[in-house]
Every structure is written in structure tokens, then in C-alpha cells.
Amino acid sequence: MSEGNCLTDKVVVVTGAGRGIGRAIAELCAAQGAKVVVNDLGGSADGEGSGDAHPAEEVVEAIRKAGGQAVANFDSVADAAPAANIIKTAIDSFGRIDCVINNAGILRDRIFHRMSIVDFETVIKVHLLGSFYTSRAAANYFKEQNSGSFVHFTSTSGLVGNFGQANYAAAKLGIVGLSKSIALDMQRFNVRSNCVSPFAWSRLIGTIPTETEAEKARVAKIQAMGPEKIAPLCAYLASDLSADVTGQIFAVRMNEIYLMSQSRPIRSVQRSDGWTPQTIAEHAMPAMKGSFYKLDRSADIFTWDPV
């Protein structure tokens, strides 16, 4: 590895790294000098099944053939003990941990009135609890070494909105809150935490229904955006190049990188004698209604072709 690589001697864990975006991240991190733990449960896109070691092992083999260092891990992020073992794999294999990239995910899309409790809880466990479990397992190592970086994956399904994804959107917006809290709590230990919202084709995106011509056209545009476009930002955030970047939300869309907004007050009203339900209806809501957010979906906001 050359001296110009930004991750030389760093140890990076990438969850869900057997395919798609996770694989692209793992391979680029290795190419940039990192020792990589390639985690993949080997399950289906909806979280069913496990035990297929081939995806993770294939990535490890590709990294080693290219001259990098990597080990495979097949634990689930959805339960605390296996998730902690992912981090332990990094410690046991390479002696330290420098970055956790929480990429693992599943989809179980259902319109809300048809969404089962199992559909909701399973997606929350993998995305939100999984991001917590792996991050918490790494936190004390980061604290003791006075350095570290978390890269969490969010989505415009949570940041903006989408049909049929109450479980996924809730998890992905929850991850934003988790990341910001980690950034605040661990800044004193030089630990960073940021979110990435990816626009890229993956097997999860491949489960999106394409019943109408508009849906088919939208998915066709996403297919043109390869997972390799997401990896450079993740490698940057894992490296010391991002030493002053924490608590932020980024989106990547082909060759575009966006800094996403965070919730702040945009309008206010007040009455010196306080409010009643009637005066809220007569005064407060009419004054603020012009600033209300529409029921937009991600596709309503990102209307132009990716660059």
C-alpha cells in the first residue's frame, strides 16, 4: 500500500459487506490501506435465512488477491452478543478497531395498515438496534485509544419520506438521532459519528415494486448509480482526513455529495395571554401553514437526473 492511502494501518469493520454497497466500501477501504472485517450474515434481502458464508468469503478473497488484508465474520447485527462479536473479530484479528461502518440492512415494505408487528420489529432490530449494538461494542475501545469513527447509513425514506416503508423510515431516522447523540457524547474522546444516505442500486432497491411506468423509470435511474459511488465518502469519513467532521448527514447520488439539513425551528407564533384550542386554530395554524412541509417523497425532492 502506498503512503498516499488514507487508511493505512486502520482497522475498519463493514457490516453487510458481502454484496452491493457494503462490498464496494470494504474493497475500497482495503485498497486505501485498511485491514477490514467483512461482516455478512448471508441472509436474504428481507432478513430471512442465514449461514451463507460465500458472499463474505468472496469479498475477503478479492481483497487478499489485490494485496489487502481482510477477515470474514458471519454474525448478525440484530442481537447484542453476535453484534459485539463482530467488533471482537477486529480486535482478535488485528489488535484494534478504528472505524465501524453500519451498512447492514433489510427491507420488508408494506403499506402501513398491512404492516405486521414482525415486519416492523425485524427492520428496526437490524437497522436501528444493529447500529446501536455494533457502535456500543466499539465505543469503549474508541474511548481508550482516544480516536475512532462511526459511519451510519440513513435513507431519504426517513429524511424525506416514502410509501410503504414506515418500519424502514422509522429506523433510518432513528439512526440520525443515534449518530448525533454519539457525536455529542464522544467528541471529548476524539470520536466522530456521521450519517450517509446512499442513492445506489442494490439488492434491497431491487425489491421495490415496479408496477407503473413511473416506478419503472425511477428504478431504471437508480440502476445507473453503482455502489462504487458511495464508497469514497465512507472511506473518507473512516480516515483521519475527516478529523473535523462529525454529527453531519450526507447524501451521495452518482457524482453528487449533499450535506443534508437537520431539524431547526422555521416559524414561531406567540400570544401574551397564552393559547386555547380555538386561538390556535384561528391564529397559530394560519400563520404557520405557509411553512408546512408537504407530504413529499424522496422522488419529489430529487427530481433531476443524477449527475
Catalytic residue among 133, 141, 168, 236: 168
DSSP for 21-56, please give it: HHHHHHHHHHHTT-EEEEE-----TTS------HHH
The Cα-based distances of 7 to 32, 39, 70 in angstroms read 5, 19, 13
Task: State the number of CA atoms in the 13 A half-sphere of 277 facing the CB.
Answer: 0
Q: One-letter amino acid identity for 119?
A: D
Backbone angles phi and psi of 95, in degrees to 5? 85, -5
CA 134 – CA 130 distance, rounded (Å): 6
What's the grid cell of residue 217? 423509470
> Does residue 168 carry a catalytic annotation?
yes
Q: What is the 3-state secondary structure (H, E, C) of 202-226?
A: CCCHHHCCCCCHHHHHHHHHHHCCC
| Cell of residue 267, nine digits | 416559524
User: What SS3 state is found at 192?
Assistant: strand
> Would you name the residues annotated as active-site residues?
168
